[in-house]
Amino acid sequence: MTEGAKRAPIEPLWEVFVRSRRGLSHVHVGSLHAPDATMALRNARDVYTRRQEGVSIWVVPATDITASSPDEKDEFFDPAADKVYRHPTFYQVPEGVEHL
């Protein structure tokens, strides 16, 4: 077994997003390895849209995604926790009032 056969350079990881039909946004469906963006798109088509699951695909290098950290999720999302008045259900509507 040659070294090359054993371990070709590791291909970058791409995250794949698919728009299932017009009018809907792209949704994350999974990931794959590919040497470049063109191959990533082709592979994504073959792997994630074999049954017409999509009309448009985005591929994004996984390393380019900045994510919030699960460890600090409480503090990070805290500002929204005590603002129930942002929801319509917070308000009392007098009996008989319609279209409000």
Partner 1 sequence: MLGVMDSFQATIDADGRIEPRDAMPEGYRKTLIRQIAQHAHSEIIGMQPEGNWISRAPSLRRKAILMAKVQDEAGHGLYLYAAAETLGVDRADLLDLLHAGKQKYSSIFNYPTLTWADIGAIGWLVDGAAIVNQVPLCRCSYGPYARAMVRVCKEESFHQRQGFEILHTLCNGTPAQKEMAQDALNRWWWPSLMMFGPPDASSTHSEQSMAWGIKRHSNDELRQRFVDMTVPQADVLGIRVPDDELTYDEATGRYSFTQPDFAELYEVVKGNGPCNQERLAHRVKAHEDGAWVREAAAAYAEKQAKKMQGSAA
Residues that bind partner 1 (CB under 8 A): 1-2, 4-11, 13, 30-36, 39, 46-47, 50-51, 67, 69-71
State whether residue 29 is helix, strand or coil. strand
CB 57 within 8 A of CB 42: no
Q: How far is the CB of 10 from partner 1 (least distance, A)?
A: 6
Q: How far is the CB of 99 from partner 1 (least distance, A)?
A: 39
Name the residue nearer to partner 1 (CB basis): 11 or 58. 11
Instruction: Please report, as a single letter, which amino acid is at residue 4.
Output: G
Name the residue nearer to partner 1 (CB basis): 21 or 93. 21
Q: How far is the CB of 32 from partner 1 (least distance, A)?
A: 6
Instruction: Please report, as a single letter, which amino acid is at residue 79.
Output: P
Sign of dihedral through CA atoms 43, 47, 50, 51?
negative
Instruction: Please report, as a single letter, which amino acid is at residue 42.
Output: R
State whether residue 62 is helix, strand or coil. helix
Name the residue nearer to partner 1 (CB basis): 42 or 56. 42
